[in-house]
Amino acid sequence: MAISKARKQALTAQYTEMLKGSQGIVLAAFSGSRVNELEALRRKVRENGGEFHVVKNRLMLLALKEAGIPVPSGGLQGTTAVGFAGDDVPGVAKAIVDAARASEALKVKGGMVSGVAYGAADIERLADLPPMPVLRAQLLGVITAPASRVAGVLAGSVRQLATVVKAYSEKASAAA
């Protein structure tokens, strides 16, 4: 079914706005996927603060150029669906990669994060990262570990000094 020129312009503008509001995108091929699988994937992506849309390749190409984002090589061939990620790019990538691992019909083509294009393998590695709260906790643990060690050493030194002073005072009171 042909799409009118006005509808094409509206879709291109919509894609451009979604691209500008996204920290990253994940491109996927969905040929042979069932509607209920795609709806479940859309729900999971929405839970991670993103959107998942089936797009027209030519219109997406125009939107990418209009948004000033480099066009991924081979990413816009065949059937294409795009996961637009807000702040949680790894969360959206994880939802799409998990769905692709569970379904033979869905394949990750690649993606872009902060304007840099990545291949399918890179997106899968991104998806394997722990969630953002876990990463923050790990980073905080790395930052605070040296400080807690220094505090432990200082506390041990103070404890030893207190023990020496107490023994000295007991010795002095026993001699008196």
Please report, for the chain, the start and end positions of each structural domain, with discontinuous segments joined by +. 5-129, 131-176
Mean of pLDDT over the chain: 84
Task: Read off the pLDDT band of 83 (50, 70, 90).
Answer: very high
Rounded average pLDDT over 27-43: 88
pLDDT > 70? residue 109: yes
The fold of 5-129 is Alpha-Beta Plaits (3.30.70)
pLDDT > 80? residue 131: no
pLDDT > 70? residue 85: yes
d(CA 111, CA 108): 8
* Alpha carbon of residue 26 to chain centroid: 11
Integer-rounded Cα Rg, in Å, for the chain is 28
d(CA 41, CA 23): 19
Supply the pLDDT for residue 66: 87
Supply the pLDDT for residue 36: 87
The torsion region of residue 22 among left (phi > 0), alpha (psi -120 to 50) and beta comes to beta
Rounded average pLDDT over 84-103: 89
Which residue in 56, 65, 74, 57 sits closest to 19, CA to CA?
65
Supply the pLDDT for residue 43: 93
pLDDT > 70? residue 1: no
% of the chain surpassing 70 pLDDT:
93
Supply the pLDDT for residue 176: 66
Supply the pLDDT for residue 128: 85
Residues 114 and 23 sit within 8 Å (Cβ to Cβ): yes
Task: Read off the pLDDT band of 84 (50, 70, 90).
Answer: very high
Tokens encoding 82? 């795009």
DSSP per-residue codes, 61-88: HHHHHHHTPPPPTTTTSSSEEEEEESS-
Task: Read off the pLDDT band of 22 (50, 70, 90).
Answer: confident
Supply the pLDDT for residue 165: 77
